[in-house]
Structure 1
Amino acid sequence: MQSVIKNGQVLADDWLLLAKEAQLADLPENTDCIVPLALWQAEREALKRRPGALAIWLDADEEVEAIAADLPNFALIALNFPAFTDGRAYSSAALLRQRYGFKGEIRAIGDVLRDQLFAMRRCGFDAFAIRADKDPHDALKGLADFSESYQSAAEQPLPLFRRRALSGRG
């Protein structure tokens, strides 16, 4: 079973991530599943009726706007990084948090490495499925690589100068 970093710890992943070409018949009964966007679009009503929690994953070239009206149906949204150098999912996470107010879990999947975690969290990710050939316990340390951030972000809407002014240290 794969691990996931969530809430500052490495945990066993209880979700089944379906392949991009998955069909409705591929879903096991009573299992929490992360389905690809194409399957959601083709089988929306059947997926909403099945037992178990439902989540969706978007590839880097799939727009958040395609699921905006459906967000209440998902406990989790996974955003795929097809390559370490493809950063489109950062924008998707920020849109989900800031424009659409999504409060559920946003998980990074795919080519996810330690060096990305701090920036991912700032954009709105709160769970990370580290690439299978990397140690998730080592990657967890990446969340503490920096002690402070100057700029505002999804996870901290106030820039440092405003936080300091509010604390009286300004």
Structure 2
Amino acid sequence: MQLIKNQQLVDDQWLRVSDDDALATGNIIISLQRWQQDKPELVKRDGAIGVTLGPADEVASIADDLSHWQLIELHFPEFADGRLFSTAWLLRERYGFSGELRATGQFIPDQAFYLARVGVDAFQPANSAVLNDTLACLADFSVNYQVSVN
């Protein structure tokens, strides 16, 4: 599956592992619940770890675990919920997360530019047919009036 990373279309190098599946080798993305449940086992395994956060997940509650993760997936269950914009900014600016921040789910292409401004550097919309539209929207504006993460 393809996604946008650093303003280019690339193949996804991560495997999503559900809460019921055995842990795979390589780079995996797991739920926050799975991380909290299996943390002792996960920190010992080879391969990079990514965690999915939703709009209701509090950044302060996971701050101590950020050093274990190379990717944080911000999953938008619906486009009308903007809390993950704040989550992205907090992860980058307040907590210094330097790994990949990936927006997934029901965001719309028009939101990509603003997500990039708060630190998101990878995009995987629920509808892969809008990947090229999303990529184009990253260049919507050439001038920024406010300072931001990017």
Tell whether the structures are fold-level matches, with TM greater than 0.5. yes
Report the 3-state secondary structure (helix = DSSP H, G, I; strand = E; otherwise coil) of the residue aligned with 1:134: helix
Percentage of pairs with the same residue: 42
Cα distance between partner residues in 1 of 2:116 and 2:129: 19
Higher relative contact order (CA closer than 8 Å, sequence separation 6+): 2
Which aligned segments of 4 or more residues in structure 1 are displaced greater than 3 angstroms?
Answer: none
Cα distance between partner residues in 2 of 1:121 and 1:101: 16
- For 1:51-90, list aligned pairs within 5 A: 51-90=46-85
User: Structure 1: any 5+ residue segments left out of the alignment?
Assistant: 156-170
- TM-score calculated relative to the size of structure 1: 0.83
Tell me, yes or no, if the aligned pair for 1:108 and 1:129 is still in contact at 8 Å.
yes
1:66, CA displacement in angstroms? 2.1
Q: Partner letter of residue 145 of structure 1?
A: D
Q: What's the CA shift string for 1:127-168, capped at 9, x where partnerless? A: 11122353312220010011111112122xxxxxxxxxxxxx
Cα distance between partner residues in 1 of 2:32 and 2:6: 26
Cα distance between partner residues in 1 of 2:102 and 2:17: 14
Q: Which has the larger radius of gyration?
A: 1
Q: What's the CA shift string for 1:84-130, capped at 9, x where partnerless? A: 11111000000001100111111101113211100000011011112
Report the 3-state secondary structure (helix = DSSP H, G, I; strand = E; otherwise coil) of the residue aligned with 1:55: strand
Cα distance between partner residues in 1 of 2:16 and 2:112: 20
User: Structure 2: any 5+ residue segments left out of the alignment?
Assistant: none
C-alpha RMSD over aligned residues: 1.3
> Number of paired residues?
150
